Amino acid sequence: MKNKLRKLSAENIFDFLHRGMIITFALLVLMFVFLQTLHSTSNLPDNSIVYFYFFIGAIVLIYLFFWFPRVTSKVLRLILFEDINLSKYHNYFDYAYKRSNRRNKSANLQELYLTEAQVLFLRGDFRTSEQRILSIDQYKMSFRFRKNHKKMISFLRFMNSVHRSETKKITEYLAELERVDYQKEVANAIYDILTGQSNDYFETIRPKSHLTQIIVTYYRALNAILNNENEKAQALFVSIADENSELFYVQEAKKFLGMTRN
């Protein structure tokens, strides 16, 4: 199911989620209305097995109602972390915002800003990524995702700052990541490597996705340069040079290889 859905357009993935939840909810309501009608007209004995079937049907529909968002979330992760399709990932949240009703529109706008900040960072536009983050009103975020999104925002602000060498902000964001206990080992390793201090943390990581593999390889290569292991660094950069050229990690790998060939 997930692999079939990830091949659809962003718009069709959203419509699958939206229609699935609406149909499931409508069937659930109709089931209870029908049951109540039968009961009120005394056409259904109290101990009838029909009650049992209605109960099972209700459980199935409730499960499906919550299944649609979960499977959609997994599909979006595949699109970003395995397919590395940045445009499609962004388009989903853009379409979701445009299709929002009045109750969800504000929360979906914050989600869109966060998605744009992620995509802009991955493309290497750190300044504009930070501007998108500043547009986010965290109090308007969906309460269900607010805690995780706040952690993501802290990490993303650190990543934007460390790649722009903003020393004062880096210290502030590192302290924030320590406070919320989120990605602090990763952040400290990246900070060390980008400030010229060798750190072998990325040698110990086993990436669980395609995108993570590229990111880890990039920082391993930078660390190899710091350790004067230039042949290792070159081999690592070569291994990611043919990946999605939208990623600034890939762009930087190509720059390094271009310099070593000249």
Largest CA distance in the chain: 89
pLDDT at 50: 66
Count each helix (H run) and each strand (E run) in the chain, helices first: 12, 0
Which of 10, 189, 151 lies closest to 89 in space, CA to CA? 10
Residue 39 pLDDT grade (very low, low, confident, very high; cuts 50, 70, 90): low
Under 8 Å between Cβ of 146 and 165:
no
Residue 44 has pLDDT above 60, yes or no: no
* pLDDT of 21: 84
Per-residue pLDDT tens over the stretch 206-233: 999 999 999 999 999 999 999 999 999 9
Q: Locate tokens 């320590």: which residue?
A: 178
pTM score, whole prediction: 0.87
> Which has the closest alpha carbon to 244: 129, 123, 125?
123
- Quote the pLDDT of residue 145: 86
